[in-house]
Amino acid sequence: MSATSPHRNDLVLLADLARMLGIHRSTLTKWIDDGRIRSYRLPTRRGDRRVAMSDAIQFLRDHPVLAARLAKQSPARRRILCVSDSELLPTHPSVEITHIPADMAMRIIWLVHHDAVVIDHSVLSRSQAIAIATLLRGLRDCRIVHVANEDAADITELAATGCVVRRPVEPTVILRECLQEQEESKWDC
């Protein structure tokens, strides 16, 4: 990578970015080829391309009509964003699950609407988790599921921003909490 290219942790696979944006990968590739979004080639034999999240965010800022349309898309499948450094949720035929590492959470949670966001407390500090949940509550209507460590003493503050499940917990339980319909109080578990 050249000195002007972003840090590798900021780079996203084209397929992952296309999925987050709700577009086909070939559409994203065309936008890159047309110079609408900058990409970076990895120094590998295949020359794989990646897009920096900062470039994707800037593209959406430069194209507010597209950003608004993408935000209002209502996919047939429900979308769950899982902020975790591991594959926390199992696959499900009616759900599109996107796992993102904790260090990318604050940069991309607002890009695309998700029906639920799972916040893994084993990879985030308590204050980071609450900041993400609070930001999401202010931005859009989505179910927030905190996966707290079993030694978490006071969950009152977490419960104010979303549903709380404690470890050890089966991944299917977390998925079920994400898919629950939001009744009278969307924060109840």
Per-residue pLDDT reduced to its tens digit, 33-74: 999 899 998 888 888 898 887 888 788 778 777 766 665 555
Both tokens of 128, joined, read 């980071």
Confidence (pLDDT) at 98: 80
What pLDDT is recorded for position 45?
Answer: 85
CA–CA distances in Å: residue 21 to residues 98, 164, 182: 11, 28, 24
CA pseudo-torsion sign 29, 50, 60, 70: positive
Domain 78-179 in CATH 3.40.50.2300? The answer is yes
Domain ranges of the chain: 8-72, 78-179
What pLDDT is stored for residue 35 in this prediction? 92
Q: CB burial class (10 A; 0-12, 13-18, 19+) of residue 109?
A: buried
CA angle at residue 101 from 97 to 107, to 5 degrees? 95
pLDDT tens digit string along 90-136? 777 778 788 787 777 766 666 667 788 888 888 887 788 887 787 77
Pairwise CA distance, residues 145 & 153, whole Å: 17
| pTM score, whole prediction | 0.59
